[in-house]
Amino acid sequence: MSTRAEFPPQCLLLLIGNSEAKEVTKKSKKPKLSVPQINCDVKAGKIINPEFIAKCPAGCQDPKYHVYGTDIYASYSSVCGAAVHSGVVDNSGGKILVRKVAGQSGYKGSYSNGIRSLSLPRWRESFIISEGKQKRGMTYPSTLEYSSPKSSTAKADETTKSYQKSTILLSTTPQPTTTTRRPATTPAEPLSTTPRLWTSLDTTTASTTTITAKLQPAGHRVRDTGFRSTAAYAGNHSITQTHTAGETGSWKPGLALLDAGSRPNEELKTRSLEPASKGDPNCKVDLSFLIDGSWSIGKRRFRIQKQFLKDISQALDIGPAGPLLGIVQFGDDPSMEFNLKTHANSRDLKAAIEKIPQKGGLSNVGRALSFVTKNFFSNANGNRGGAPNVAIVMVDGWPTDKVEEASRLARESGINIFFITIEGAVENEKQNVIEPNFVDKAVCRRNGFYSLNVLSWFSLHKIVQPLVKRVCDTNRLACSKTCLNSADIGFVIDGSSSVGTGNFRTLLQFVANLSKEFEISDTDTRIGAVQYTYEQRLEFGFDKYSTKQDILNAIKRVNYWSGGTSTGAAINYALEHLFKKSKPNKRKLMILITDGRSYDDVRIPAMAAHQNGVITYSIGIAWAAQDELEVIATHPTKDHSFFVDEFDDLYKSVPKIIQNICTEFNSQPRN
């Protein structure tokens, strides 16, 4: 008699199944993980698997692989591009873990790790990137499942179920080793052994700190730098840029038609999401960086300075329709590294900055400013005329020459000077500063807008965004040449007997009303005045008063003279005593006001004024001779000659005169 227990058929099947399962488990214990490789252009939305490990190749930092978002990326992004942007891998590639998450209501673009990601209003699906390590208890596919081009994206639930089903099969079936072997060219370790050009800036290891510290040469100053290296700048810079990049990668309204669940035409979508290749039109400035190449800065800080310039170049979005940037390096003497038209995009500019060698020498900033004023902002060097001219001076500590006079000439030429001082003079060093308060003497305005003081070179990255914001705020670039701040204006006032005391006061009020419209200072518009009868008298010259209130008070103090009318002699007198002392970079405007015909000839003096570059406006009242007014006025006479019947009507012509002055200014090349 058999003692074996009897089991129902279904129990026998279960036992057999369990036995087979155990056998399978023994055979498939700790299967070797096979990691599928993907190309740089593969988008997360094309991969059905909700979570997977993949291997990225080298070279995915290229801007043609579009990335949308920061930290959480839209599934329309390049997987490997996002991995580089997030910092999980670098441009040499490596293993990554990708996990799909829900779509977001918005994705902010940013610049990080050499990639500028773009913004997106919303998208149906997202993903996050982490280090490519297998999680305990998780099994990842050795082959990725891609969606068909014709498949609908609305089938997310089916996709998930399909993947779950394949996961069950994978967990109970041994992995075939013959079909999942890595290519021979794939390195066993995820980290590339190929050296990177920017290794010294992307690592914070103690060994790198030691190496870069040895590169610091003895300079003019002794600094306590602690244990921080150039790496500290790069690391902090990455964090800062990621934090503030929403400003520079803001979403454009024209793309707001996308919504969750929609699937755009890929070619059209790619084109519409491309960053502007012509530069940022909201920041159209011509920019010169004057960088410190002196020995006092040292090699390490010079590299930090170059990294800062590259960050600025990236943040500005360089292009012909936006900002253009050139660089002048100063030491004993200045030299132009490249001008405004050498590089037309941020990528080329950054590559050129990386190749700049250090000059050495002293920190002769004044000499560099003179060089920029005379040479840099010219048509030959790419100056566009209509764009504000901006010069940003970076100096380690303090200049070794004087800057006041050179800066004044630069401001008078319409250049907006910014100063960045790094590690300025401490108390026991101030005795070595050649020109005290050199920043206030140099900048465009002393209101704090044009100066930035950085306590340490390793904090330089913190001013990238503030500086870009200021430079691009063209409405506040007060030293840019305009029709209202770039002229020497000489009033030639008829004080003859026919005018009379009451009308003379009205005439002076007209002169004051015109003067009020201009920006008056020693570097902006300057005002002078001559009164004439048979004789001439200089009431005040261009260099007498430098504020608007002083000018208005001086006009009020002009006393009525009375006498004959020698207009021709008055023009000659104004040329000799007013405009001969005009500055060469100022537009010379003569505004002559008379109420009658001249006793002398006006043709030769008027011609002399025109030949000397004096733009002449003639204002006639009552009995003034129209033919003389037209001879005196600059061509075309209809824009430069005015007539009113009564002195009380003079005020009506003020807006038209100002309009014509500005129209003429804006039609001419300048700077």
Instruction: Give per-residue pLDDT as tens, 193-252.
Output: 333 333 333 333 333 333 333 333 333 444 433 333 334 444 444 333 333 333 333 333
Cα–Cα distance between 577 and 573 in angstroms, integer?
Answer: 6
Give phi and psi for 368, each to the nearest 5: -70, -40
What DSSP line would sit under 411-458, residue for residue?
HHTTEEEEEEEES---GGGGGG-SSTTHHHHHSS-SSSTTEEEES-GG
* Amino acid in position 448: G
* Numbered ranges of CATH 3.40.50.410 in the chain: 286-476, 487-667
Cβ atoms of 422 and 395 within 8 Å: the answer is: yes
Cβ atoms of 560 and 506 within 8 Å: the answer is: no
Would you give the distance in Å from CA 342 to the centre of its chain?
Answer: 17
* Cα distance from N-terminal residue to C-terminal residue, the chain: 116
Of 200, 378, 453, 432, the residue nearest 304 (C-alpha): 200
Mean pLDDT of 99-114: 86
Cα–Cα distance between 190 and 639 in angstroms, integer?
Answer: 74
* Numbered ranges of CATH 2.170.130.20 in the chain: 44-131
Mean pLDDT of 570-594: 94
Cα–Cα distance between 510 and 310 in angstroms, integer?
Answer: 52
What share of the chain has pLDDT > 90, as a percent?
57
Q: What counts of helices (H) and strands (E) characterise the chain?
A: 19, 19
Q: Higher-confidence residue: 237 or 393?
A: 393
Cα–Cα distance between 656 and 652 in angstroms, integer?
Answer: 8
pLDDT band at 669; cut points 50, 70, 90 = low
Give phi and psi for 268, each to the nearest 5: -65, -40
Give phi and psi for 78, each to the nearest 5: -65, 125
pLDDT band at 484; cut points 50, 70, 90 = confident
CA triplet 629, 635, 639: central angle to 5 degrees? Answer: 75
Residue 257 has pLDDT above 80, yes or no: no
* Amino acid in position 469: K
Mean pLDDT of 402-427: 90
Residue 151 has pLDDT above 80, yes or no: no
Mean pLDDT of 564-582: 96
Q: Higher-confidence residue: 211 or 505?
A: 505
Mean pLDDT of 613-636: 96
Per-residue pLDDT tens over the stretch 278-288: 888 889 999 99
Average per-residue pLDDT in the chain? 79
Long-range pairs of 512-518 with CB within 8 A, sequence gap ≥ 24: 512/552, 512/555, 512/556, 513/651, 513/654, 514/591, 514/654, 514/657, 514/658, 515/489, 515/548, 515/551, 515/552, 515/555, 516/548, 516/552, 517/484, 517/654, 517/658, 518/484, 518/485, 518/487, 518/489, 518/548
Cα–Cα distance between 82 and 85 in angstroms, integer?
Answer: 5
pLDDT band at 414; cut points 50, 70, 90 = confident
Cα–Cα distance between 27 and 29 in angstroms, integer?
Answer: 6
To the question of pTM greater than 0.75 for the whole model, the response is: no
Angle between helix 567-577 and helix 603-611 axes, rounded to 10 deg: 30
Question: Which of 82-91, 132-141, 159-168, 641-650 shows the lowest mean pLDDT across its residues?
Answer: 159-168
Contacts of 522 (CB under 8 A, 6+ apart): 543, 546
CATH of range 44-131; options 3.10.310.30, 2.170.130.20, 3.30.750.24, 2.40.30.10: 2.170.130.20
Residue 146 has pLDDT above 80, yes or no: yes
Residue 25, pLDDT score:
45
Cβ atoms of 104 and 241 within 8 Å: the answer is: no
CATH architecture of 487-667: 3-Layer(aba) Sandwich (3.40)
Contacts of 74 (CB under 8 A, 6+ apart): 68, 103, 104, 107, 120, 123, 125, 126
Of 535, 612, 619, 522, the residue nearest 576 (C-alpha): 612
Question: Which of 5-9, 138-142, 172-176, 460-464 shows the lowest mean pLDDT across its residues?
Answer: 172-176
* Amino acid in position 304: I
| CATH number 3.40.50.410 is the correct assignment for the domain at 286-476 | yes
Angle between helix 298-316 and helix 346-354 axes, rounded to 10 deg: 170
